[in-house]
Every structure is written in C-alpha cells, then in structure tokens.
Amino acid sequence: MKTLKEIHLNQFQLNILLDEEEKEAYRYIVQEGTYCVHCKDVCIEGVEVRENILNDMNDILIKGVCKKCEGYVSRFIEYGEFGDFVERANSFRKAIGE
C-alpha cells in the first residue's frame, strides 16, 4: 500500500475539506477539547492554531499554542475513521496533485 504524504493545509483548504459537522467538532476541539501538558488541564482559553496537517492516516493534526500558558500543544482529530471524510481527503489529494 502506498504511503500517504503529510500535507500542510491552509485555512482555505481546511474549509473545503471539512463538512459542517466536522467543522463543529474542529471548533470544539480548538476551543475546549485539547489537553495542555503544561497546564495539566484542558486549554481553558482554547488553542491558537499554528498549523493544520492532513497526516498519512487521513487524520488532521492540529499544532498550536495554549492561549493560557503559551505552551505548545497538538491534537489529532481522527476523521480518518469516517468513510466520507476519507473520500473527500483522497479527492483533495488528487486535486492538488499528490
């Protein structure tokens, strides 16, 4: 099986890739669903997102900083388990020539 490339997504690409429900999940994770190892708690003030990466499993990896302590945090969103996201991700990969 061919290994998928990691793709750094810009905001526009992220927008086309996620449907409404997935955007909702994304917002929830950014605002209150990410654990900060520095605060030893969820990022209560949310995460300032620096990078969105579509990884080799067709999951989205969010990298950013905790808005409270400014420590680095990262979090996977496992959209790769949802069939229709995988289809969208694969046609997106094709569209950008990966």
Residues that bind Zn ion (CB under 5 A): 36, 38-39, 66, 68-69, 71
The owner of tokens 């997504």 is 9
| Of residues 21 and 41, the one with the C-beta less far from Zn ion | 41
Residue 46 CB, shortest distance to Zn ion, in Å, is: 10
Amino acid at 3: T
Could you give the CA distance from residue 2 to residue 39 in angstroms, rounded to a whole number? 39
Alpha carbon distance 21, 56 (integer Å): 22
Q: What is the closest distance, in whole angstroms, from the C-beta atom of residue 73 to Zn ion in the complex? A: 7
Taking the least distance from each CB to Zn ion, the nearer of 19 and 45 is 45
> Residue 9 or residue 36: which is nearer to Zn ion going by CB?
36
Tell me how far, at minimum, the Cβ of 47 lies from Zn ion, in Å. Answer: 9
Helices (H) and strands (E) in the chain, counts: 3, 6
Q: What letter represents residue 91's amino acid? A: S
